[in-house]
Amino acid sequence: MKSNYGLCLSGQRCILVPYRPEHLPNYHEWMQDPFLLEMTGSEPLTMEEEIQMQKEWRDDEKKCTFIILARDLLSRGELGDNGEKIAVPVIPTEHIEKDRKEESYPNLIEQTLNAMIGDINLFLSEEDDYNSDDEENFQQQQMLQTKAPAPTELTQAELDIMIAVESHRHKALGTELALMMMYYGATALKLRRFYVKIKDTNHASIKLFKEKLGFVECAYAECFGEYEFELKCETSEEMSELIEQKWQSHVKKTQPISAADETVDGNGRIYDVYECPVTD
């Protein structure tokens, strides 16, 4: 997706950067792992196929992809491989939402390849509320077919998170990552429904989305052994407000409380947005 190809989302423990050609060697190595292939339902690709797919995903407005960087693998000001100091976006520190930051990080991608731990995706689609058992709805659909088709509204997305680096699994990063990506989807892409598909053996992911994030089960494919969970609102504005509430709850559980006013130390922001100039 070109709309996020020049943006960086700076969160508390993770930074999301656009998927660029520089990431391909590491990404290709990840996707040779049988465990990751099974968990993501993917097939191994050649490097040439991976390069082509990266270009296709960059240009596909139904696919929004970020590479996940772990802050604990980065030190602001340390020297990179080229001898230059690494400039890393700071952790958000303010409660009030602001416009995109003026700072730009032209070298962020090439300087942070060692901090890659996975990727996160939104696969956008049009909601289908049609029910074949609903006679009234069926008649409405028949009438609509005689009219000129309306512009497609992409109001929902499948959310997919992959932590490829084993050392960073089971570190409670999932809540922050999911809320960051959903907030971007609700505010920037105007999405009102998110859903995930999870293998029934993936108990950690089921706990994350069902218990921590409040997703509800909406389908189960027995032939695939796969659940579908959803989080849905009437509008994208309502979704963004809901995500903000979930973020505040998450922060209160994971950060110390100020004894003076019982407010959360640090901040209530999900992320800051910075420029990450395109080089390809």
pLDDT in tens, 168-219: 999 989 999 999 999 999 999 999 999 999 999 999 999 999 999 999 999 9
Would you state the pLDDT for residue 79? 54
Residue 238 has pLDDT above 70, yes or no: yes
Q: Which residues contact 7 (CB under 8 A, 6 or more apart)?
A: 18, 100, 273, 274, 275, 276
Q: Output the CA torsion 105→2→179→164 (10° steps).
A: -80
Q: Percent of the chain at pLDDT above 90?
A: 64
Is pLDDT of 98 > 60? Answer: no
DSSP per residue over 137-194, as a string?
HHHHHHHHTTSPPPPP-EEEEEEEEEE-SGGGTTSS-HHHHHHHHHHHHHHHS---EE
| Token duo for residue 230 | 């959803």
Three-state DSSP at 129 gives coil
More confident site: 116 or 261: 116
- Check residue 130 and give its pLDDT: 40
Number of Cβ within a 10 Å radius of residue 24: 15
Query: Which residues, 6+ apart, have CB-to-CB distance to 16 below 8 Å?
Result: 8, 9, 66, 67, 68, 69, 120, 177, 180, 181, 271
**Alpha carbon 181 to chain centroid, angstroms:** 3
Q: Give the residue with greater pLDDT, 179 vs 153.
A: 179
pLDDT at 259: 39
CA geometry: angle 134, 140, 142, nearest 5 deg? 105
Residue 275 backbone class (left: φ over 0; alpha: ψ -120 to 50; beta: rest)? beta
Q: Which two tokens stand for residue 224?
A: 């695939």
Candidate ranges 129-143, 231-245, 250-264; pick with highest mean pLDDT: 231-245
* pTM to 2 decimal places: 0.85
11 DSSP 8-state letter: -
Rg (CA), the chain: 20
Three-state SS for 209-235 is HHHHCCCEEEEEECCCCEEEEEEECCC
pLDDT digits (tens, 9 = 90+) for 20-79: 999 999 999 999 999 999 888 889 999 999 999 999 999 999 999 999 999 999 865 565
- The pLDDT, as a whole number, for residue 181 is 98
pLDDT of residue 142: 55
**Other beta carbons less than 10 A from residue 174's beta carbon:** 20
DSSP states of 79-97 = B-TTSSBP--PPPP--SS-
Angle (deg, nearest 10), helices 236-254 and 174-188:
160
Answer whether 12's CB lies under 8 Å from 270's CB: no
Residue 76: other Cβ atoms inside 10 A: 12
- Between 61 and 129, whose confidence is greater? 61
* pLDDT tier for residue 239 given thresholds of 50, 70 and 90: very high
Residue 264 — pLDDT band, cuts 50, 70, 90? very low
